[in-house]
Amino acid sequence: MTILKNAIDSIAIGLEDYQSPDNRRIVSSARNIFAGILLLFKHKLCELSPPNSDEALIKTRVLPQLDPTGALSWIGKGKKTVDVSNIQERFDSLDILVDWKRLKRVNDYRNDVEHYYSNLNTASVQQLISDSFIIIRDFISDHLDDDPKSLLGEKYWKILVDVNEVYEKE
Protein backbone atom coordinates (compact mmCIF):
# COMPACT_ATOMS: atom_id res chain seq x y z
CA MET A 1 0.00 0.00 0.00
CA THR A 2 1.35 3.42 -0.88
CA ILE A 3 1.38 6.39 1.47
CA LEU A 4 -1.05 8.19 -0.83
CA LYS A 5 -3.53 5.30 -0.78
CA ASN A 6 -3.19 5.13 3.00
CA ALA A 7 -3.89 8.89 3.18
CA ILE A 8 -7.03 8.62 1.05
CA ASP A 9 -8.24 5.58 3.01
CA SER A 10 -7.70 7.37 6.34
CA ILE A 11 -9.68 10.41 5.18
CA ALA A 12 -12.46 8.17 3.83
CA ILE A 13 -12.70 6.19 7.07
CA GLY A 14 -12.72 9.45 9.04
CA LEU A 15 -15.63 10.73 6.97
CA GLU A 16 -17.50 7.45 7.44
CA ASP A 17 -16.91 7.77 11.19
CA TYR A 18 -18.23 11.35 11.07
CA GLN A 19 -21.45 10.15 9.45
CA SER A 20 -21.94 7.35 11.97
CA PRO A 21 -24.93 7.71 14.33
CA ASP A 22 -22.63 6.47 17.13
CA ASN A 23 -21.30 9.64 18.83
CA ARG A 24 -18.24 7.74 20.05
CA ARG A 25 -16.99 7.60 16.46
CA ILE A 26 -16.21 11.34 16.50
CA VAL A 27 -12.86 10.58 18.16
CA SER A 28 -12.07 8.12 15.38
CA SER A 29 -13.22 10.63 12.78
CA ALA A 30 -10.89 13.35 14.04
CA ARG A 31 -7.99 10.92 14.38
CA ASN A 32 -8.39 9.43 10.92
CA ILE A 33 -8.91 12.70 9.06
CA PHE A 34 -5.87 14.26 10.74
CA ALA A 35 -3.79 11.16 10.02
CA GLY A 36 -4.90 11.34 6.40
CA ILE A 37 -3.74 14.94 6.13
CA LEU A 38 -0.34 14.09 7.60
CA LEU A 39 -0.02 11.16 5.20
CA LEU A 40 -0.77 13.49 2.26
CA PHE A 41 2.07 15.69 3.51
CA LYS A 42 4.41 12.71 3.87
CA HIS A 43 3.50 11.56 0.38
CA LYS A 44 4.71 14.91 -0.95
CA LEU A 45 7.95 14.58 0.99
CA CYS A 46 8.44 11.09 -0.47
CA GLU A 47 7.94 12.49 -3.96
CA LEU A 48 10.64 15.08 -3.29
CA SER A 49 13.10 12.68 -1.67
CA PRO A 50 16.10 11.96 -3.88
CA PRO A 51 16.26 8.53 -5.52
CA ASN A 52 18.02 5.89 -3.42
CA SER A 53 17.73 8.04 -0.27
CA ASP A 54 15.31 5.67 1.52
CA GLU A 55 12.70 8.45 1.41
CA ALA A 56 15.01 10.74 3.39
CA LEU A 57 12.57 13.63 3.66
CA ILE A 58 10.06 11.66 5.73
CA LYS A 59 12.61 10.12 8.10
CA THR A 60 13.48 11.80 11.38
CA ARG A 61 17.06 10.55 11.08
CA VAL A 62 18.87 11.58 7.94
CA LEU A 63 22.59 10.83 7.75
CA PRO A 64 25.30 11.76 5.26
CA GLN A 65 26.81 9.01 3.17
CA LEU A 66 29.59 8.98 0.60
CA ASP A 67 29.06 6.92 -2.53
CA PRO A 68 31.93 5.02 -4.26
CA THR A 69 32.80 8.14 -6.26
CA GLY A 70 33.06 10.26 -3.12
CA ALA A 71 29.84 12.18 -3.76
CA LEU A 72 27.84 13.09 -0.66
CA SER A 73 24.21 12.10 -0.32
CA TRP A 74 21.71 12.09 2.52
CA ILE A 75 20.03 8.81 3.44
CA GLY A 76 16.99 8.29 5.66
CA LYS A 77 17.63 5.88 8.53
CA GLY A 78 15.21 3.86 10.61
CA LYS A 79 11.45 3.60 10.57
CA LYS A 80 10.55 6.71 12.58
CA THR A 81 8.97 9.37 10.40
CA VAL A 82 8.55 13.10 10.76
CA ASP A 83 5.92 14.67 13.01
CA VAL A 84 3.91 17.84 12.44
CA SER A 85 6.69 20.22 13.49
CA ASN A 86 9.26 18.38 11.33
CA ILE A 87 6.89 18.50 8.37
CA GLN A 88 6.34 22.22 8.88
CA GLU A 89 10.11 22.86 9.01
CA ARG A 90 10.70 20.85 5.85
CA PHE A 91 7.78 22.41 4.00
CA ASP A 92 8.93 25.91 4.99
CA SER A 93 12.42 25.08 3.75
CA LEU A 94 10.98 23.76 0.47
CA ASP A 95 8.53 26.68 0.01
CA ILE A 96 5.49 24.40 0.29
CA LEU A 97 2.67 26.54 1.64
CA VAL A 98 0.11 25.12 4.07
CA ASP A 99 -2.37 26.95 6.27
CA TRP A 100 -0.63 26.00 9.53
CA LYS A 101 -3.10 27.93 11.73
CA ARG A 102 -5.97 25.94 10.27
CA LEU A 103 -4.02 22.69 10.69
CA LYS A 104 -3.29 23.61 14.32
CA ARG A 105 -7.04 24.00 14.98
CA VAL A 106 -7.69 20.54 13.54
CA ASN A 107 -4.80 19.06 15.54
CA ASP A 108 -5.87 20.78 18.78
CA TYR A 109 -9.38 19.38 18.39
CA ARG A 110 -8.00 15.92 17.65
CA ASN A 111 -5.76 16.11 20.71
CA ASP A 112 -8.66 17.20 22.92
CA VAL A 113 -11.00 14.41 21.88
CA GLU A 114 -8.28 11.78 21.77
CA HIS A 115 -6.35 12.53 24.97
CA TYR A 116 -8.86 14.32 27.17
CA TYR A 117 -12.45 14.88 26.21
CA SER A 118 -14.38 17.27 24.09
CA ASN A 119 -17.35 19.35 24.99
CA LEU A 120 -17.47 20.73 21.47
CA ASN A 121 -20.84 20.71 19.77
CA THR A 122 -21.86 19.61 16.29
CA ALA A 123 -20.88 22.99 14.84
CA SER A 124 -17.37 22.54 16.24
CA VAL A 125 -17.07 19.13 14.63
CA GLN A 126 -18.31 20.66 11.38
CA GLN A 127 -15.60 23.32 11.73
CA LEU A 128 -13.00 20.55 12.10
CA ILE A 129 -14.27 18.88 8.91
CA SER A 130 -14.52 22.23 7.12
CA ASP A 131 -10.96 23.18 8.09
CA SER A 132 -9.78 19.72 7.02
CA PHE A 133 -11.64 20.06 3.71
CA ILE A 134 -9.84 23.32 2.91
CA ILE A 135 -6.42 21.90 3.83
CA ILE A 136 -7.03 18.69 1.84
CA ARG A 137 -8.48 20.48 -1.20
CA ASP A 138 -5.73 23.09 -1.38
CA PHE A 139 -2.89 20.65 -0.76
CA ILE A 140 -4.03 18.13 -3.37
CA SER A 141 -4.59 20.88 -5.95
CA ASP A 142 -1.55 23.03 -5.22
CA HIS A 143 1.11 20.52 -4.23
CA LEU A 144 0.09 17.14 -5.58
CA ASP A 145 -1.11 18.62 -8.87
CA ASP A 146 -4.20 16.45 -8.79
CA ASP A 147 -7.96 16.94 -8.73
CA PRO A 148 -9.21 16.44 -5.16
CA LYS A 149 -12.60 15.19 -6.32
CA SER A 150 -11.12 12.46 -8.49
CA LEU A 151 -8.40 11.54 -5.98
CA LEU A 152 -10.79 11.23 -3.03
CA GLY A 153 -13.67 9.84 -5.05
CA GLU A 154 -17.10 11.32 -5.65
CA LYS A 155 -18.66 9.94 -2.44
CA TYR A 156 -16.06 11.36 -0.05
CA TRP A 157 -15.63 14.60 -1.95
CA LYS A 158 -19.40 15.18 -1.66
CA ILE A 159 -19.32 14.61 2.11
CA LEU A 160 -16.49 17.13 2.51
CA VAL A 161 -18.23 19.70 0.32
CA ASP A 162 -21.60 19.22 2.05
CA VAL A 163 -20.15 19.60 5.56
CA ASN A 164 -18.17 22.66 4.48
CA GLU A 165 -21.24 24.26 2.93
CA VAL A 166 -23.37 23.62 6.04
CA TYR A 167 -20.65 25.02 8.29
CA GLU A 168 -20.19 28.11 6.10
CA LYS A 169 -23.96 28.81 6.08
CA GLU A 170 -24.20 28.54 9.85
Higher pLDDT residue, 16 or 165?
16
Mean pLDDT of 153-157: 95
**Share above pLDDT 70 across residues of the chain, in percent, rounded to a whole number:** 92
- Give the C-alpha separation, 113 to 102, whole Å: 17
Summarize pLDDT for 61-83 with one digit per residue, the tens.
Answer: 999 999 899 999 999 999 999 99
Say how far apart CA 42 and CA 135 lie, in whole Å: 14
For the chain, helix (H) and strand (E) counts, in that order, are 7, 2
DSSP letters for 3-17: HHHHHHHHHHHHHHH
Global pTM? Answer: 0.92
